[in-house]
Amino acid sequence: MRACVIIPARFKSTRFPGKPLAKILNKEMIIWVAELSSEAVGKPNVYVATDDHRISSKVEEYGFKTIITPTEMLTGTDRVAMASTNLNYDIFVNVQGDEPMVNPNDILKSIDYKKKYPNSVINSYCYLADDEEPENKNIPKVITNEKDDLIYISRAPIPRLKNNNLISIKYKKQVCIYSYFMDELKSFLSYGRKSFIENIEDIEILRFFELNKNIKMFQASKTSLAVDEINDLGKVEKAIKNKNIK
């Protein structure tokens, strides 16, 4: 089964405009993501789906393929679905453009899980680091059952003990690597709007619940560190230096 990576990258991020082109150790964040994705699926199978020619020009400068999509898309997954329309692959992996430390092995694991669980959409999680706060609304927290099927995902600290003690819980956070088949992307896009709970949480994968799709989660590596705000750049630069990623 042929697999590709599509990286959605819009310029007008609400919290951090121009985020894909933000420099991390003198290289644009979107290039970090594309290069690491290429280690998993090969450079010819990596696409950046964007609405902005500033992003596409920089990506093409590094030899990666781009697909121009409309500016007004509901979510990154909608952008991936739009970009996938004319691509000839069996599995489409969505890697978020603000994950400059994505582990190529996690991308490969996502592809393997999609082959193993063809009736499920695939997503991943890892456990919160000691310096990450469960109360941080920029970090979606994940609840799974004992089979690692997604039960719910929220920006609130879930699960939560009745006595509000957060210390004793080992929280899971979402890692934004997803795998789908074409028909799943088409269904997602054709829904045409954000679902009620997706709109409240601002977490796009929740729309699949309305489509009666099971979501299978796997534990990803702990290298994931997303850039949500400009202040996160320093943390990522430090982490990349510590891991000696080039």
pLDDT in the model for residue 244: 54
Q: How far is CA 107 from CA 6, 151, 196, in A?
A: 11, 22, 30
d(CA 94, CA 176): 8
CA 10 to chain centre: 13
| Cβ proximity of 65 and 73 under 8 Å | no
Which domains does the chain possess? 3-234 (3.90.550.10)
DSSP states along 93-162 = EEE-TT-TT--HHHHHHHHHHHHH-TTEEEEEEEEPPTT--TT-TTS-EEEE-TT-BEEEEESS--S--T
| Cβ proximity of 124 and 177 under 8 Å | yes
Both tokens assigned to 159? 């699960």
Q: How far is CA 37 from CA 46, 77, 97, 193, 219, in A?
A: 7, 17, 10, 29, 18
Minimal CA–CA distance to 185: which of 123, 93, 102?
A: 93
Both tokens assigned to 96? 């978020």
Phi, psi of 115 (to 5 degrees): -65, -40
Contacts 24+ apart (CB under 8 A), 160-166: 166/134, 166/135
One-letter identity of residue 237: E
Task: Specify the DSSP class assigned to residue 68.
Answer: E
Helices (H), the chain: 29-41, 53-61, 76-84, 104-116, 182-190, 196-201, 207-210, 232-243
Strand 46-50 and strand 65-68: pairing?
Answer: parallel
Task: Specify the DSSP class assigned to residue 90.
Answer: S
pLDDT in the model for residue 175: 93
pLDDT in the model for residue 14: 66
Strand 65-68 and strand 214-219: pairing?
Answer: unpaired
pLDDT in the model for residue 224: 64
Mean per-residue pLDDT pooled into runs of 10, the chain (246 residues): 96 78 90 96 98 95 96 95 96 93 95 98 93 91 97 94 74 95 98 97 97 97 71 77 63
Other CB atoms within a 10 A radius of the CB of residue 127 amount to 13
